[in-house]
Amino acid sequence: MKMKNIILLTVVMVSVHSSGCASHEDTTVADNSYDSTKLSPVETQKANSNYKPAFAGQTRIAGVKTTTPYKVEKIAQGLGNPWAVVPMTDGRLLITIKSGYMEIHTATGELVKKITGFPAVDDNGQGGLLDVAFDPNFATNKTIYWSFSEKNPPGNLTAVAKGQLNETAGTIDNPIVIFRATPALNSGAHFGSRLIFDKDGNLFVSAGERSIPEGRAQAQLLTAGLGKVFKITPDGKAVPGNPFINQPGAMPQIYVYGIRNPQGLDINPATGELWEVEFGPRGGDEVNIIRSGKNYGWPTITYGIEYSGEKVGEGIQQKEGMEQPVYYWDPVVSPSGISFYKGDAIPEWENNLFIGG
């Protein structure tokens, strides 16, 4: 596999943290001087292992420099504990707050409305109110979809719900859970989760393997919804044509498996393919092209090691029948949301992938 015509832009400055951002009056203008030479890789520290990439350009690829002038504006601060920031059709921003509500902000950061009425979330650890996506017909039906960590005795799980955004009342009308990534486990980690609609109006959902050994092993099982990317209808059913829909015992909503903790999904505007980014262990954060029915290897293969320094499983990075990441980092960048650049203001960014870290 080659990295031809693909540039991965890891943009730490656009990541969202609980501390918020500075006021929008503070601006930074990029260095516009032209530099035709390639830059050093973003991975400047020693790798955690001596693992070798499967192909040239799979890690520590040379950097490149933007030549078009641009300006960075910090537009908001004190957001509390946001998880997702999603543009609305009118240019405003819908922000999920981890503890269980959403906020609508103007494009310049001012709070417009707090939205409540969501099903209760389990916001311990990495859990809470996670991603949000607009129905393709949101302009007329006002329906939004969101993922969240749901208490489900004796544990918790990643769930997807939908409802109508009632901005005037500041509430969600008719909320209903449409999908659950079962089984529930007693863990506060690795819920995922990202949502994105395809061109046919079906919904891709990512869910983590919950980190603990019991969940980790189930990333390789088609009978479990842990460590997967799903493809569901707007009602949470399996999409006809899903790869395992006719396999006895398999969850019919599963689209791919062998995933660790997937927190970024986007569709490549040039190819129409689904791309994913996931947290690896110590080393081994990955970018993958998600193709129907494929096994992405976790925890059998990985370029990372345990946080203790031990090998993960047998310590292998390649195995027949398991997909290789397009790119991986060691040390890690802790990736979060991703987005392909679809604008035209900066031509050299066209169709490039931005990764929050």
Domains assigned to the chain:
1-80+261-266+273-287+300-357 (no CATH), 85-259 (2.120.10.30)
Give the rounded percent of residues in the chain with a pLDDT score beyond 90: 83
Distance CA 65, CA 24 (A): 25
The answer on pLDDT for 143 being more than 90 is yes
The answer to whether 178 and 236 have CB atoms below 8 angstroms apart is yes
pLDDT over threshold 50, residue 253? yes
User: Average of pLDDT values for 22-30?
Assistant: 38
d(CA 230, CA 198): 12
pLDDT over threshold 60, residue 303? yes
pLDDT at 100: 98
Q: What is the DSSP letter of 282?
A: B
- Name the token pair of 215: 């969940």
User: Is the Cβ–Cβ distance between 156 and 181 less than 8 Å?
Assistant: no
The answer, yes or no, to whether residue 29 has pLDDT greater than 70, is no
- What pLDDT, on the 0 to 100 scale, is given for residue 15? 31
pLDDT score of 49: 95
Span 288-313, mean pLDDT? 97
Which range is least confidently modeled, 17-31, 181-195, 203-217?
17-31
Bigger pLDDT: 198 or 64? 198
Say if residue 19's pLDDT is above 90: no
- H-only helix segments in the chain: 138-141, 213-218
**Residues recognised as catalytic:** 190
Local confidence band at 3 (pLDDT 50, 70, 90 cut-offs):
very low
pLDDT at 37: 56
Mean pLDDT, rounded, of the chain = 90
Contact (Cβ atoms closer than 8 angstroms) between residue 232 and residue 205: yes
Return the percentage of the chain with pLDDT > 70, whole number. 90
Phi, psi torsion values for 14, nearest 5 degrees: -100, 0
Which residue's structure tokens are 């399996």?
238
pLDDT at 92 (0 to 100)? 96
Q: Are 303 and 317 in contact (CB under 8 A)?
A: yes
Q: Which of 5-9, 124-128, 309-313 has the lowest mean pLDDT?
A: 5-9
pLDDT band at 34 (very low <50, low <70, confident <90, very high): very low
Mean pLDDT, rounded, for 237-257: 98
pLDDT of residue 1 exceeding 70: no
Taking Cα atoms as reference points, which of 153, 265, 252 lies closest to residue 208? 265
236, 276 in Cβ contact below 8 A? no
Cα 239 to its chain centre, rounded Å, is 21
Neighbours of 348 (CB within 10 A): 12
Q: Indicate whether 105 pLDDT > 80.
A: yes
